[in-house]
Chain A
């Protein structure tokens, strides 16, 4: 081997050991990303209740939930319209599976159409915040009833509702003169259930069809009369349990596999989770005598 070979060896040794030094002695690995997010919260305001609930969790770096008995957080809501601040109180709940968690309770009844800001503040000033605008009813359009082979149907159009309601109820208010102390009785028919919603998006609003003939069996059952009986129908109504505008899953579908992705369905700044609101939107209408009769009921003042 001549001189060029030795030179080449020296040429190689320098970069090789240089790389060795550059790679360093780092052996540890931190699997956690440092970010300015510390809390996860889930909850919503309900206009039908005087008590509001929010589940609050601190982000953990240990997989096994140790079930901490205390949480470093102060939770408040602020009514944007009035500036009034409500402090929520913490309660440690033991769930059915044996685990425990912090549920904060706010004692107030939210007002439809008002905006609320939820703040979760740590003792060092770190904060997570979310706002919600409680939905309110503005306009409803009860279309003319249709009489067909399936009996009487009627479309109720909610122009400001652009998403599937969580709950749809139709009530029938009847008059029973045999009970002078309780002359008015209501039968409430639940349309669909939590996992089988009704109605469809139509012209940017939500349209739900009331099917009188299909409801008759349930109404009769609740009133305790035979299906052939024709109760006196005073009025009709529909009640939607409706979420606020931000409570919309991506692609309009509540898919567990998608929504579980962190941040995919979240309106919490400085944290994870979701804070929304719901309201019961109600609308009442009456039927004319002939439709009332064709629907299997008696018009008030009419002959049974």
Chain B
């Protein structure tokens, strides 16, 4: 159980303590010999207390089993510390999210979803409520690494933007590194979302089933060997066409689903083994091909993807050594296709196998973290001519490497983590040294933090951001001369002057080199060349959090940022007259404001979220004409010419501001000793804002995000 506080107190009143990590392990170091009272506490559980005698120079291990405090169940409201991690609790780009945080966000599904919380964070830009594309502090979706129990999930967000592959019910914690992540992670330019799934109940069978207009879910967990081995399984299937589409009388041609399962075993006192697996599938139609979209018999292109992953994680905490170690073996697979439903023109298949070991030695106040990793990828894509200068073939990429990242704690509250990651790609004769740095200083009510690092991305995703309706991503190895590289710098400050007020401010800068972007062309076609570009993302966010209990919480966050791409493509140079052409890519949202409140009144949970984002860039034009290439004695009376879009500079237009209000109300009723029924009702887009998802410049066809949708849900849960 993560987050449990374990405290040793001696007769003199001296305290030593630690909080259990995501695996439930805790280490309290530098404890002088003597008698102590050990106390472990966590909300919802009875305190555990035991006298212990520590002998100098010896290591002791103690497994603690907390017992559920029944007074927290039922309709009793227990005042106490909240379970949320909090929006303002950000430390040098790292935000930890717990299921309780996610439950604060109004959602169209009674079983909340991680992505709803992510999109409430400043610096996270969503393409809209469809498409499943998240941009984190200037990074593109393919530059985000998403891990579930160590398994890499290539396309983790469902096609409907309210859902990810991670329902709140299966999540233990999610660590979101919006940048500046440590040496343990590599291979992505922008961010890491490291999710740890819960382990199943080892004592009794519990579960839940939900019904809502978007998805239906079923979760079951329980002991396989009581007290030792448990399982948890979750399945979700969309019911949009039968539910939400009928509610708003609008075609919503989307379908998705996911299945997750985890087996967890305690292998004695000092070892745990878990095996996790996930499968997701999505399909839907997001836009129209303007060159073909005429006539009643036109069939819109469909995007479809299917991913699965399986992995194991073995943890060691030897009772005789101050060492924590984990070994991870994972396999991931993604199939993605785009085009006519039965005859896709673009396909990609990425498979990824990885082995990693992470070790921590605790010596005094220093934790020496180090690790080894090995991975092998197979990438096979067919672009159907989308990028004319890209000739993809089946590629095999092997990566081996190691990292070291000691964590020094020279004084109380100060943590310094320099790191170095070495990555080599033998098949491509490439080696990268990536220095990393992280510093956190807690002093009284203040916390100062900073992080920096250099990152490379050998396996990159190619996609065509010119067309919002095409979210197909081809995974391929970056050309050896232009490996995408990023340099991050983050600095933050957090203050918690009272128990009901927390404020944080954080600034970031990402320098981006060798990005791969579609070439600029005035041809209204969906094939083009790709070209390199450099860029940067910079900004800051302010977060204010009020409230200290489950009865009331409110957060206000504002993010301001700017993403700039720089291109030296000749066509753009000539178009603009600039040697280096700067433009804001289509995910550059300048300002984001999120306001969330959550109140509990007489057993009712009332959640409100209002979010606002300034408009995203799009390409304006002067209109359309036909173009004739006068490179010879062309007879202009005979040549029809080719259709052309009269673009100006790239992405100079801005779509209208996005804003939306979501509201939900739910209440849980106890219908049996361990059986609970929850009703939820709510409204998504409460004032029916016409938020634009996609404007087709050619047909002037407008695709809006979802209108006002009343939602309701029912959840039957056996706890």
A residues engaging B (CB < 8 A)?
1, 5, 8-9, 12, 16, 19-20, 23-24, 26-29, 31-33, 35, 37, 40, 42-44, 53-55, 57, 59-65, 93, 95-97, 99, 101, 103, 166-167, 194-195, 241, 247, 249-251, 254, 256-264, 272-274, 276, 278
A contact residues around B554 at 8 Å (CB):
9, 12
The A-B contact count (CB < 8 A) is 178
Encoded as 1 (CB less than 8 Å from any A CB) or 0, chain B from 671 to 690 comes to: 00000000000000000011
Known: A9-B546, A31-B621, A42-B628. A241 touches B633 (CB 8 A): yes
Assess the A32–B621 pair: CB atoms within 8 A.
yes
B433 within 8 Å of A (CB atoms): no
- B630-654 contacts to A, CB under 8 A, are 630-633, 635-644, 646-648, 652-653
B contact residues around A99 at 8 Å (CB):
640
11 sampled A-B residue pairs with Cβ under 8 A: A16-B595, A31-B621, A40-B626, A53-B637, A60-B625, A63-B524, A96-B640, A194-B633, A247-B630, A259-B631, A262-B575
**Chain A nearest CB: distance from B708 CB in Å?**
14
Known: A31-B621, A262-B646. A274 touches B638 (CB 8 A): no
Known: A29-B656, A62-B624. A261 touches B640 (CB 8 A): no
B83 within 8 Å of A (CB atoms): no
Name the contact of A12 in the complex, choosing from B556, B570, B637 (C-beta under 8 A).
B556
Name the contact of A257 in the complex, choosing from B501, B519, B632 (C-beta under 8 A).
B519
Assess the A19–B612 pair: CB atoms within 8 A.
yes
Assess the A53–B640 pair: CB atoms within 8 A.
no
**Chain A nearest CB: distance from B688 CB in Å?**
10
Assess the B657–A40 pair: CB atoms within 8 A.
no
A contact residues around B572 at 8 Å (CB):
261
Known: A31-B620, A258-B574. A272 touches B636 (CB 8 A): no
B622 within 8 Å of A (CB atoms): yes
Docked complex Cα distance between A49 and B631 (Å): 19
Q: Which residue of A lies closest to B697 (CB)?
A: A31
Docked complex Cα distance between A51 and B157 (Å): 63
Known: A23-B659, A276-B630. A8 touches B521 (CB 8 A): no
Assess the A256–B621 pair: CB atoms within 8 A.
no
- B483-533 contacts to A, CB under 8 A, are 500-501, 519-524, 529
Assess the B571–A23 pair: CB atoms within 8 A.
no
Docked complex Cα distance between A57 and B646 (Å): 13
B71 within 8 Å of A (CB atoms): no
B residues engaging A (CB < 8 A)?
290, 294, 500-501, 519-524, 529, 544, 546, 552, 554, 556, 570-572, 574-575, 593, 595, 610, 612, 618-633, 635-644, 646-648, 652-653, 655-657, 659, 689-690, 692, 695, 697-700, 702
**Which of A1, A93, A256, A257 is the most central at the interface, judged by chain B CB atoms within 10 Å of its CB?**
A257
Task: A5-B501, A28-B656, A261-B574 given; name 6 further pairs at CB < 8 Å.
Answer: A1-B552, A12-B556, A64-B294, A101-B640, A249-B631, A254-B631
Assess the A55–B631 pair: CB atoms within 8 A.
no
Docked complex Cα distance between A16 and B698 (Å): 37
B contact residues around A254 at 8 Å (CB):
629, 631
Known: A24-B657, A31-B653, A44-B630. A61 touches B646 (CB 8 A): no
B contact residues around A241 at 8 Å (CB):
633
**Chain B nearest CB: distance from A2 CB in Å?**
9
Assess the B640–A95 pair: CB atoms within 8 A.
yes
A contact residues around B655 at 8 Å (CB):
29
Docked complex Cα distance between A260 and B641 (Å): 11
Known: A31-B695, A63-B524. A260 touches B632 (CB 8 A): no
Assess the B622–A59 pair: CB atoms within 8 A.
yes
Please provide the 4 A-B residue pairs with the shortest distance between their CB atoms, ordered closest to farther.
A254-B631, A95-B640, A63-B698, A59-B623
Assess the A95–B612 pair: CB atoms within 8 A.
no
Q: Which residue of A lies closest to B647 (CB)?
A: A262
A contact residues around B633 at 8 Å (CB):
166-167, 194, 241, 278
Q: Which residue of B lies closest to A95 (CB)?
A: B640
Docked complex Cα distance between A23 and B612 (Å): 9
Q: Which residue of B lies closest to A264 (CB)?
A: B574
Name the contact of A59 in the complex, choosing from B610, B625, B656 (C-beta under 8 A).
B625
Assess the B636–A42 pair: CB atoms within 8 A.
yes
Q: Which residue of B lies closest to A59 (CB)?
A: B623
Name the contact of B689 in the complex, choosing from A1, A27, A272 (C-beta under 8 A).
A27
Assess the B546–A166 pair: CB atoms within 8 A.
no
Q: Which residue of A lies closest to B659 (CB)?
A: A23
B contact residues around A24 at 8 Å (CB):
657
Assess the B546–A8 pair: CB atoms within 8 A.
yes
B contact residues around A95 at 8 Å (CB):
638-640
A contact residues around B652 at 8 Å (CB):
33
Assess the A20–B612 pair: CB atoms within 8 A.
yes
B contact residues around A54 at 8 Å (CB):
636
Assess the A55–B571 pair: CB atoms within 8 A.
no
Name the contact of A32 in the complex, choosing from B552, B620, B632 (C-beta under 8 A).
B620
Docked complex Cα distance between A198 and B552 (Å): 81
**Chain A nearest CB: distance from B226 CB in Å?**
45
A contact residues around B612 at 8 Å (CB):
19-20, 23
**Which of B593, B595, B640, B689 is the most central at the interface, judged by chain A CB atoms within 10 Å of its CB?**
B640
**Chain A nearest CB: distance from B164 CB in Å?**
27
Name the contact of B522 in the complex, choosing from A35, A42, A64, A262 (C-beta under 8 A).
A262
**Chain B nearest CB: distance from A228 CB in Å?**
36
Assess the B630–A60 pair: CB atoms within 8 A.
no
Assess the A59–B546 pair: CB atoms within 8 A.
no
Q: Which residue of A lies closest to B658 (CB)?
A: A23
Docked complex Cα distance between A8 and B574 (Å): 54
Assess the B571–A29 pair: CB atoms within 8 A.
no
